[in-house]
Structure 1
Amino acid sequence: MNPETGKKLRAAAAAAAHRSAAEVATALMTAWHDSLSAPPCPVTGIDPLDTLMPGLLLPGRVTVVGARPAVGKTAIAMQIAEHVGVAHDTDVVIVSLEMMAESLARRHVVARAIAQGTPLRDPHLWRDEADSSAIADGIASWGQLPYLIIDQDRRRGAVQAAIIAAVLAVRERGRRVGVVIVDYLQQITDDGAATREREVGLASVMLAETAKSLGVAMLVLAQLNRASASAAEPRPPVITDLRDSGQIEQDADAVLLLHRPTQDGAAPQSSRPLARAAQIIVGKARHWGIEPGQTIEMEDRGLRWVPAESAPNKPAPSAARGNGIPGYGLPAIVAAGWLKPDPRTGMLELSDEIKGGDHGDW
């Protein structure tokens, strides 16, 4: 090797993005202590899902919600957005590539009227004067939501730039972003991609990298193909039904698949008016030790998903690692009260309840 080449290699090595184990340990220790005083991690507001997969909306994590058209991807995403924004007092960035912001607002008005027991007589055209009070209330409610909506440009680079700009704008105001919602992945375009699979794959990678670099949770909606519905015997969707690219599965921390069960070709109806039986199926759970296929029974009550009252929706025993520590992550352990700060040193120690019990070898 000539001296000049060696010099270039050494310069390249010096500039490489690497960290020692000690540097990682220091960063982890800092994050650990910061988490004790940080605001709680937002949850989806869907109780059985939050119990089964705690920390789903931790910063940097990407959750893909997949479903066939008209099953309820946007409805459940907007429901989660409202809970994260209102219950946790955080801002929500919504990248709406299928609907204009005004369409999302109209859906909110209709959903709110149904939830309050006063469904609109004319939910599509809003021409019935008897609906005026509910419509005005719904519009006022929408105007109070802490949303930043991106609905203009579908190009991959433009979508990424818009997300970054929105998150930075929120932080400049001294607020935090609870979640970024993308509706939906396959709508993002890239003129430089040679194939459709490549185009969707690049979009998936971009969203995952953006979530991690900004430190924000991301909820990405995705279309499923019709394989499960068009089979000789219709079946629930599986992760391989994600449309156009296997890259989506690789990039996601979690994949949730929405499904409406069928009986003789028709969706079974709930005993409640306006309610339809629905399911959230776990397709992937990178951090939770959950086997794919676990199902949460739900009801779709007109643009709002709620746990089915007839189903226990309890996670299976294998849903958590660590002999009963949900999610086995530090925030979950601290929140559960198993670790508590020592008043003298400030360091975390096992609580008295845990010290006195038999909890296996964890």
Structure 2
Amino acid sequence: MEKSLNISPVRVDKTTIINLEKGKLPPQAVDIEEAVLGAMLIDIKAPGEVIDLLQPEVFYKEAHKYIYEAITQLFHSTPPQPIDLLTVSAQLKRNGKLELVGSDFYLIQLTQKIASSAHIVFHARIILQKYIQRSLITISSKLIEDCYDEGMDVFDLLDTAETNLYEITQGNLKKGYETAQSLVNQAKQRIEEISNKEGLSGIPTGFRKLDELTSGWQPSDLIIIAARPGMGKTAFVLSMARNIAVGSNEPVALFSLEMSSVQLITRLISSETGLTSEKLRKGTLEPHEWEQLNVKVKDLEKAPLYIDDTPSLSIFDLRAKARRLVSQHGIKLIVIDYLQLMSAGSSSKGGGNREQEISMISRSLKGLAKELNVPVIALSQLSRAVETRGSSKRPLLSDLRESGAIEQDADIVSFIYRPEYYKIDNWDDEEAAPTTNQGEFIVAKHRNGSLDNIRLKFIGSLGKFDNLDEYGMTYDDSMPSKMNLDAHNPFITPNLPSPNDAFGSSMNNNFDENSDVPF
């Protein structure tokens, strides 16, 4: 007799059964989509509540994308058109999409599936969540595929992944295009906001004439501030950062590749307290100066200023850190000190020369400004050609060091020029005014505005720039009452050292080779 075979039944666990039932359907909520569209068709107030939350591409069902697109077109038309069954049907017909959505019969069905628009915002957020889930799946799938490609640079993969995730976090996933109608409405809204806004449309620098020229640093602009060593590049951006973070309470991120964060904050303390950098460096403070130090740094302590002193920072690391700072702290301005100390990092291809590397870095900085929609300021060195010229040492665009791409990519190119550094005693203008303790901020390229040379006060012992007062008077020990009461000079404090004292007399001759400020 043949023995029967004992075959054990295949055991299928509960999880496997659930996965088989679910399959690989993308995250979706078609019934919620129907409820939202139906509410918009029956309630005149409903479209205004969700029109800023949703875009046509967030809908899973293709027909729903076409219907919502027709609704947004009616909503944004000039003047706005009423939104109901008849108008949406007519708009779909004009778009050639009415039959694709299932004709008028489908629109009628949508209105029958909802009684009111009471929970439309909550429902719209569910649709958006499902879209984000689908987007994450798409990004992850592409990332997995690229990870198996041995030819892909791992740092490029990291940067791409972080960029895509940041776009989702900010709710601005890349769109293929925008219509002229949408862009015109955005521009009109921006102009209206500016007209209703008191003050400047951009981030104020605290330098009056510069703000009048630029209306503040504008979002998405790349600003280059270039100068020869010793002109005061770092002093200028520190003074500006103080004005923005302390004066306007706007968050600022400063990436310093040259100086340590403690050195930078010490210079800011000098500006804020009126105590010379020499005293702070040596710690030779009198009892009343210690009290002055403790009292006057309180505003600086509370300022939304974030300093990163990572040396040899790569453009890849900068992008990653800048995205986190904007996301976590709402940074309104990014400053890099300075561009030539940055590296392209491992993401650079082909190991090109330094000029090509700087070109890539400047393009990346412009891309970062547009991506984060904040102004990015990059300091830059000038070539030695300035030193070889004759009597005029004023910088030119052709003096930008290592790459013409910097001039091409930047929205604003500016220079800092202090004739006193070259022992030039008078300005080369009709009045031949003295150059003592003055500098010039030269706007040599301004993509969206005019050009100008703006004179500023330079206080070397405190390592800062300030507004030149209305009458052109400069920092002088002989007029303490004017300097101490000037409302436009918030840094000025009593009993500051004179440029004619023992320290000030040697000020112009004691420049540290690696520093912008005489110490």
**TM-score, length-scaled by structure 2:** 0.50
**What are the equivalent positions in structure 2 for 1:84-233 lying under 5 Å apart?**
84-114=244-274, 118-119=275-276, 122-130=279-287, 131-137=289-295, 139-152=297-310, 154-171=313-330, 177-191=331-345, 192=348, 193-233=351-391
Work out whether residues 281 and 295 of structure 1, in 8 Å CA contact, stay in contact via their aligned partners in 2. yes
Aligned partners of 1:26, 1:163: CA distance in 2, in Å? 30
Corresponding residue number in structure 2 for 1:266: 423
Q: Distance in 1 between matches of 2:341 and 2:229?
A: 13
Distance in 1 (CA, whole Å) between partners of 2:426 and 2:292 is 27
Q: Per-residue deviation at 1:135?
A: 3.8
Cα–Cα, structure 1 residues 47 and 36, in superposed 2: closer, same or farther, change >3 Å?
A: closer
- Tell me by how many angstroms 1:72 deviates: 0.8
Q: Please tell me the residue identity of whatever aligns with 2:379.
A: L
Identity of aligned residues (%): 24
In the alignment, is the contact (CA less than 8 A) between 2:272 and 2:297 conserved in 1?
A: no
Query: Quick one: distance in 2 between partners of 1:16 and 1:285?
Result: 29
- Give the Cα–Cα distance (whole angstroms) in 2 for the partners of residues 121 and 150 of structure 1: 24
Q: Which residue of 2 aligns with 1:82?
A: 242
Say if 1:59 and 1:211, in contact at 8 Å, map to a contact too: yes
Given that 1:65 and 1:222 are in contact with CA atoms closer than 8 Å, whether structure 2 keeps it comes out as: yes
Any idea what the Cα deviations from partners look like across 1:246-300, whole Å, max 9, x if unmatched? 111111111111001159x415399xxxx6221111211111133xxx3222221
What code does the residue aligned with 1:235 have? K
Deviations 1:131-179 (CA, angstroms, capped at 9, x unpaired): 43344345544322211222225111001111111111113xxxxx331
Unaligned runs of 5+ in 1: 1-14, 172-176, 313-362
> Is the Cα contact below 8 Å between 2:257 and 2:309 reproduced in 1?
yes
Change (3 A) 1:31 1:298: closer
1:258–1:279: 8 Å Cα contact kept in structure 2? yes
Once the two structures are superposed, residues 192-212 of structure 1 have per-residue CA deviations (whole angstroms, 9 ceiling, x without a partner) of 341111111111111111111
1:124 is displaced (CA, Å) by: 2.2
More strand by share: 1
1:108/1:57 CA distance change after superposition, 3 Å: same
1:98 Cα shift?
1.3
Deviations 1:226-263 (A, max 9, x none): 21122243420011111111111111111111001159
Distance (Å, rounded) in 2 between the aligned partners of 1:132 and 1:70: 29
> Residue 303 of structure 2 aligns to which amino acid in structure 1?
L
Matched to 1:219, the amino acid is I
- Inter-partner Cα distance in structure 2 for 1:123 and 1:157: 36
Give CA deviations for 1:26-57 in whole Å, capped at 9, x if unaligned: 33234344545668532111111112232x41
What secondary structure is seen at the aligned counterpart in 2 of 1:79? Answer: helix
CA pair 101-123 structure 1, distance change in 2 beyond 3 A: same
Q: SS where residue 24 of structure 1 aligns? A: helix
Per the normalisation by structure 1, the TM-score is 0.70
Give the distance between the partners of 2:290 and 2:369, measured in 1 at CA: 40
Is the partner of 1:149 in helix, strand or coil? strand
- Asked whether the equivalents of residues 255 and 309 of structure 2 are also in contact (C-alpha less than 8 Å), the reply is yes
Residue of structure 1 equivalent to 2:185 = 26
Higher relative contact order (CA 8 A, sep 6+): 1
Q: Letter of the aligned partner of 2:383 in structure 1?
A: N
Deviation at 1:70, TM superposition (A): 1.7
Number of equivalenced pairs: 282
Contact 2:246 2:300 in 1 (8 A): no
**Of 206, 214, 234, which aligns to 1:53?**
214
Quote the Cα distance in structure 1 between the aligned partners of 2:231 and 2:220. Answer: 27
Q: Which amino acid aligns with 1:124?
A: R
SS of the aligned residue for 1:148 comes to: strand
Report the counterpart of residue 281 of structure 1 in structure 2: 442
Q: Label 1:121 to 1:214 Cα distance change in 2 as closer, same or farther (>3 A).
A: closer
Kept in 1, the 8 Å contact 2:225–2:378? The answer is: yes
Q: Distance in 1 between matches of 2:408 and 2:278?
A: 45
Q: Retained in 2: the 8 A contact 1:105–1:142?
A: no
Distance in 1, matches of 2:372 and 2:278, equals 44
Cα RMSD after superposing both structures = 2.8
Is contact 1:267-1:277 (8 Å) kept? no
Report the 3-state secondary structure (helix = DSSP H, G, I; strand = E; otherwise coil) of the residue aligned with 1:44.
coil
Note the residue ranges of structure 2 that are not aligned, 5 or more in a row. Answer: 1-173, 428-435, 474-519
Alpha-carbon distance between aligned partners in 2 of 1:267 and 1:119, rounded to the nearest angstrom: 25
